[in-house]
């Protein structure tokens, strides 16, 4: 873009915005780059490859299916980037075919050779020794054959319903069967109860870490399923389906039962992608393509297993800690050991937890002590994702069973966790808890735990607010912040939000928290505009913000205006970023970087100079339309000066200093990895691990 006076630049110009789906593919490429990085331990490189495959699956299940639905219904809906659905689908196909091709190149040329060099082999059918082949044949007969059901394709046996993302084979055969019928083709579905990665006994292969894939075991013995026939071809395939659930919340009498009824349909939604083995003849994959009503651009031929994510099993079964990241034990904050009185600590001071470097155990202990404490009268909590065996949910069950007032706001529509959350809701209701599902039309995404306790000076509210979920497992893999406080104003704010979620009434004014969908968007715009005003007046100004996704157009335009006013802006955006940095006259004062490393960057932290007041906020919300307008979210201030400085240093400054895992977004939409030109790469995550280890 040519330099133009700021006043004459149209900030709604589509060229100033990157497309959401195409930006997300760029994130997938950054994840895949971890699998190529020789500095990453070998089994971790395999894990990054499988993660890339898994998130690409979800991309097709949700994002691509959404674009296809717009095309099917002639909805010419375009975002700020101005790309129409048909053009977008074509560009997605082009980029995804290149990405998938690179995934399998990395598998075959980088990851598998590195594993083999380390003594871990994934044996292909052509590599089986006579002893291993005999064992595979015996394993097939004992463990696999009894649960297989080949389906002949003819007028009496139409093409079977194929489950979303399941492993299947299409088999071509010659000859006549027992009834004298000529045979041509059959479909074989591999049951999901069968393991996809199978360890070969050391006494058979002579190696401790030799494995075969279920697909190889079946393929090597496919003739057994068609006695007296000649198998002329056997090709694995997998179909990905639209997995977004739709429930008419206005019409549903009970959201739980309505959603439960929709869950089985997820496995049989409209097909959006077909993956086939690269040796599958064209006439065969065209036949499959027609069965699933797909186009040629929806077909992906792959040189390897059709589901790379299944290779993740190797990471678990290969007992090779030397090929993984060094283990670490999250540190407990001072004064919050296993026997600490969590309530006493919070009364003394606010507690900030930085996961995964600090343990999630104090949050669990807070819930457990609340459940067991006779002075606790009520517990209220939002549940988005917690895990099937969550100790916090167990504490809520105990508290409810003991007669405490327990309220759980469970978001049943947490994508791909719907079934688990339905189970949790049922358990809590059976224990005597009050269970609500939030607000019709708005996902309850806020992370809040409120405890009401009777003390000598009256009732006191204890609060935990977080940027991530109440899930002990993800707290070891995601970077997140949690604040535990008994600040009366914050306690009152959280109480009012719970009243909104479970009862009726107008929007209550909050003292310290900002809440979506009511005040958060406006407040973020005001804070950005205030920085712009400071810069126009010649005073210091600064914005640093960290989040997962940046999409909301009004916020992006506000950032552009602040940049035009001269505000230095640093954005740390892990995934999708629609803002185009470095555009003369628009965003030359904005820098965007993405951090991809051992842990999934998940905390949302927003910092504003604010005329020297230094406002630092943490939030459950990204800067996206859905978070601002279609979800219940919280954004809370870090007011204690020592804690605020910690957040700025640990969540923002270290990430701006990172040259090992940082990718810088360029004006053309490409990302440059700083490690490729850094003399001594510095990693924010490794620095934090070292800090907390000490």
List, in sequence order, the alpha helices (H) in 143-221: 202-205, 214-220
Tell me: pLDDT of 283 over 90. yes
pTM (2 d.p.): 0.92
The tokens describing 84, both together, are 């129409």
7 lies in a domain?
Answer: no
CATH number at residue 502: 3.30.870.10
- Choose the final residue of a domain: 512, 542, 560: 512
Instruction: Indicate the SS3 state at residue 592.
Output: strand
Q: Check whether residue 83 and residue 111 sit in a common domain.
A: yes
The tokens describing 258, both together, are 């309505």
Q: Check whether residue 408 and residue 269 sit in a common domain.
A: no
Q: Check whether residue 72 and residue 32 sit in a common domain.
A: yes
Q: Check whether residue 292 and residue 376 sit in a common domain.
A: no
C-alpha 574/C-alpha 184 separation (Å) is: 50
Q: Check whether residue 185 and residue 257 sit in a common domain.
A: yes
Instruction: Indicate the SS3 state at residue 203.
Output: helix
C-alpha 337/C-alpha 358 separation (Å) is: 12
The β-bridge relationship of strands 458-466 and 448-455 is antiparallel
Q: Mention every residue, 6+ apart, whose C-beta is less than 8 A from residue 612.
A: 540
C-alpha 18/C-alpha 553 separation (Å) is: 11
Residue 368: per-residue pLDDT: 96
**Strand ranges (E), 517-564:** 543-547
Backbone angles phi, psi at 39, to 5 degrees: -75, -15
* 445 given a catalytic annotation: yes
- Choose the final residue of a domain: 323, 357, 392: 323
Tell me: pLDDT of 257 over 60. no
Q: Check whether residue 53 and residue 127 sit in a common domain.
A: yes
Q: Check whether residue 240 and residue 139 sit in a common domain.
A: yes
Q: Mention every residue, 6+ apart, whose C-beta is less than 8 A from residue 238.
A: 165, 166, 167, 168, 274, 275, 306, 307
CB under 8 A, 24+ apart: contacts of 44-47: 44/323, 44/324, 44/325, 44/598, 45/110, 45/111, 45/114, 46/111, 46/115, 46/311, 46/312, 46/314, 46/315, 47/312, 47/315
Tell me: pLDDT of 694 over 70. no
C-alpha 474/C-alpha 360 separation (Å) is: 10
10 lies in a domain?
Answer: no
Phi-psi region of 614 (alpha: psi -120 to 50; beta: other; left: phi over 0): left
Residue 104 CA, chain-centre distance (Å), reads 22
**How many domains are contained in the chain?**
3
For residues 151 and 169, the answer to whether their CB atoms sit within 8 Å is: no
Backbone angles phi, psi at 86, to 5 degrees: -65, -45
Q: Which residue has the higher pLDDT, 440 or 396?
A: 396
Query: Within a 13 Å sphere around the CA of 236, how many CA atoms are in the beta-carbon half?
Result: 21
- In the predicted model, what is the mean pLDDT of residues 148-163? 82
End-to-end CA distance of the chain: 49
Catalytic residue among 309, 354, 355, 445: 445
Residue 477 CA, chain-centre distance (Å), reads 11
C-alpha 373/C-alpha 404 separation (Å) is: 10
Backbone angles phi, psi at 532, to 5 degrees: -60, -40
C-alpha 659/C-alpha 75 separation (Å) is: 43
What's the chain's average pLDDT? Answer: 91
CATH number at residue 27: 3.30.1840.10
Angle between helices 255-262 and 418-431 (to 10 degrees): 140
Residue 269: per-residue pLDDT: 82
- Which residue in 495, 516, 507, 513 sits closest to 409, CA to CA? 495
Residues in the chain: 694
Residue 153: per-residue pLDDT: 84
584 lies in a domain?
Answer: yes
Residue 681: per-residue pLDDT: 85
12 lies in a domain?
Answer: no
DSSP 101-157: HHHHHHIIIIIHHHHHHTT-EEE-GGG--HHHHHHHHHHIIIIIGGG--EEE-BTTB
Sheet holding 168-174, edge to edge: 150-152, 185-189, 168-174, 230-241, 271-277, 299-302
13 lies in a domain?
Answer: no
Q: Read off the pLDDT of residues 591-602 as tens digits, 9 standing for 90 and up.
A: 999 999 999 999
CB neighbour class for 429 (10 Å; exposed up to 12, middle 13-18, buried from 19) = middle
C-alpha 488/C-alpha 424 separation (Å) is: 30
230 lies in a domain?
Answer: yes
Tell me: pLDDT of 250 over 50. no
Neighbours of 558 (CB within 10 A): 21
Tell me: pLDDT of 244 over 90. no
- Which residue in 82, 6, 2, 1 sits closest to 586, CA to CA? 6
Q: What percent of the chain has pLDDT over 70?
A: 92
Tell me: pLDDT of 256 over 50. no
Instruction: Indicate the SS3 state at residue 618.
Output: strand
Neighbours of 76 (CB within 10 A): 9
For residues 462 and 486, the answer to whether their CB atoms sit within 8 Å is: yes
Q: What percent of the chain has pLDDT over 90?
A: 76
Band the pLDDT of 431: cuts 50, 70, 90. Answer: confident
Q: Read off the pLDDT of residues 562-603 as tens digits, 9 standing for 90 and up.
A: 999 999 999 999 999 999 999 999 999 999 999 999 999 999
Residue 156: per-residue pLDDT: 58
Q: Check whether residue 499 and residue 578 sit in a common domain.
A: no
- Choose the final residue of a domain: 512, 540, 556: 512
3 lies in a domain?
Answer: no
Q: Check whether residue 574 and residue 684 sit in a common domain.
A: yes
Q: Which residue has the higher pLDDT, 502 or 618?
A: 618
Work out whether the CA dihedral 594, 600, 604, 605 comes out positive or negative: negative
Q: Read off the pLDDT of residues 356-380 as tens digits, 9 standing for 90 and up.
A: 999 999 999 999 999 999 999 999 9
Q: Read off the pLDDT of residues 179-229 as tens digits, 9 standing for 90 and up.
A: 667 777 899 999 889 999 999 999 999 999 999 999 999 999 999 999 888
Tell me: pLDDT of 688 over 50. yes
Residue 157: per-residue pLDDT: 66
The tokens describing 315, both together, are 């990471």
314 lies in a domain?
Answer: yes
For residues 53 and 129, the answer to whether their CB atoms sit within 8 Å is: no
Query: Within a 13 Å sphere around the CA of 210, how many CA atoms are in the beta-carbon half?
Result: 20
- Which residue in 93, 522, 588 sits closest to 85, CA to CA? 93
Residue 13 CA, chain-centre distance (Å), reads 31
Q: Check whether residue 239 and residue 278 sit in a common domain.
A: yes
b/e sequence 638-664, b meaning 16+ C-beta within 10 Å: bbbeebbebbbebbbbbbeebbbbbbb
Residues spanned by the domain of 586: 516-693
Q: Check whether residue 155 and residue 187 sit in a common domain.
A: yes
Q: Check whether residue 471 and residue 565 sit in a common domain.
A: no
Q: Read off the pLDDT of residues 284-313 as tens digits, 9 standing for 90 and up.
A: 999 999 999 999 999 999 999 999 999 999
């Amino acid at each position: 873009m040519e330099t133009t006076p700021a006043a004459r630049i149209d900030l709604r110009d589509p060229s100033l915005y990157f497309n959401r789906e195409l930006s997300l593919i760029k994130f997938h490429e950054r994840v895949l780059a971890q699998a190529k990085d020789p500095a990453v331990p070998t089994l971790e490189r395999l894990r990054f490859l499988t993660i890339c495959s898994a998130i690409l699956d979800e991309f097709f299940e949700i994002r691509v299916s959404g674009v296809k639905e717009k095309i099917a219904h002639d909805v010419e809906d375009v975002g700020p980037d101005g790309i129409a659905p048909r053009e977008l689908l074509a560009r997605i196909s082009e980029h995804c075919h290149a990405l998938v091709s690179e995934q399998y190149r990395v598998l075959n040329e980088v990851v598998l050779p590195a594993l083999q060099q380390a003594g871990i082999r994934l044996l292909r059918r052509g590599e089986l020794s006579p002893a291993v082949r005999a064992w595979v044949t015996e394993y097939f007969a004992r463990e696999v054959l009894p649960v297989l059901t080949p389906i002949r394709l003819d007028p009496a046996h139409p093409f079977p319903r194929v489950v979303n993302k399941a492993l299947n084979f299409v088999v071509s055969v010659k000859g006549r069967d027992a009834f004298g019928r000529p045979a041509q083709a059959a479909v074989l579905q591999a049951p999901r109860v069968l393991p996809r990665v199978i360890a070969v006994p050391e006494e058979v292969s002579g190696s401790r870490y030799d494995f075969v894939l279920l697909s190889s075991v079946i393929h090597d013995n496919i003739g057994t399923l068609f006695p007296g026939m000649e198998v002329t071809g056997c090709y694995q395939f997998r179909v990905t389906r639209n997995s977004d659930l739709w429930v008419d919340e206005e019409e549903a009498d009970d959201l739980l039962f309505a959603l439960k009824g929709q869950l089985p349909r997820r496995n049989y939604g409209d097909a959006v992608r077909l993956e086939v083995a690269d040796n599958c003849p064209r006439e065969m994959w065209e036949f499959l393509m027609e069965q699933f009503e797909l186009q040629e651009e929806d077909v992906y031929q792959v040189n390897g297993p059709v589901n790379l994510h299944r290779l993740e099993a190797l990471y678990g079964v290969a007992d090779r800690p030397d090929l993984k990241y060094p283990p670490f034990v999250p540190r407990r904050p001072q004064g919050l050991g296993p026997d600490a009185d969590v309530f006493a600590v919070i009364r003394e001071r606010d507690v900030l937890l930085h996961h995964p470097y600090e343990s999630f155990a104090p949050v669990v202990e807070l819930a457990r002590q609340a459940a067991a404490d006779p002075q606790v009268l009520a517990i209220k909590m939002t549940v988005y994702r917690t895990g099937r065996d969550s100790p916090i949910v167990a504490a809520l069950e105990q508290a409810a069973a003991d007669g405490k007032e327990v309220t759980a706001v469970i978001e049943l529509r947490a994508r791909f966790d719907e079934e688990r959350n339905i189970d949790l809701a049922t358990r809590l209701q059976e224990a005597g808890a009050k269970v609500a599902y939030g607000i019709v039309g708005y996902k309850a995404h806020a992370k809040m735990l409120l405890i009401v306790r009777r003390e000598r000076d009256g009732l006191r509210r204890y609060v935990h607010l977080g940027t991530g979920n109440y899930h002990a497992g993800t707290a070891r893999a995601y970077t997140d912040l949690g604040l535990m406080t008994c600040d009366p104003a914050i306690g009152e704010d959280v109480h009012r939000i719970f009243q909104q979620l479970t009862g009726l009434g107008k929007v209550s004014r909050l003292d310290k928290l900002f809440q979506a969908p009511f005040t958060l968007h406006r407040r973020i715009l005001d804070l950005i505009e205030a920085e712009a005003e400071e810069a126009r007046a010649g005073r210091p100004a600064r914005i640093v913000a960290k989040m997962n996704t940046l999409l909301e157009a009004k916020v992006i335009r506000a950032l552009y205006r602040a940049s035009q006013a001269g505000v230095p802006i640093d954005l740390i955006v892990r995934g999708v970023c629609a803002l185009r940095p470095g555009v003369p006259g628009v965003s030359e004062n904005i820098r965007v970087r993405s951090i991809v490393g051992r842990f999934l960057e998940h905390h949302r932290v927003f910092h504003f100079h604010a005329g020297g007041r230094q406002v630092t906020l943490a939030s459950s919300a990204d800067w996206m339309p859905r978070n601002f307008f279609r979800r219940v979210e919280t954004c809370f201030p870090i007011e204690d000066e020592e804690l605020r400085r910690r957040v700025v240093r640990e969540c923002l400054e270290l990430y701006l200093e990172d040259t090992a895992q940082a990718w810088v977004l360029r004006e053309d939409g490409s990302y440059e990895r700083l490690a490729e030109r850094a003399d001594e790469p510095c990693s924010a995550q490794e620095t934090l691990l070292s800090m907390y280890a000490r």
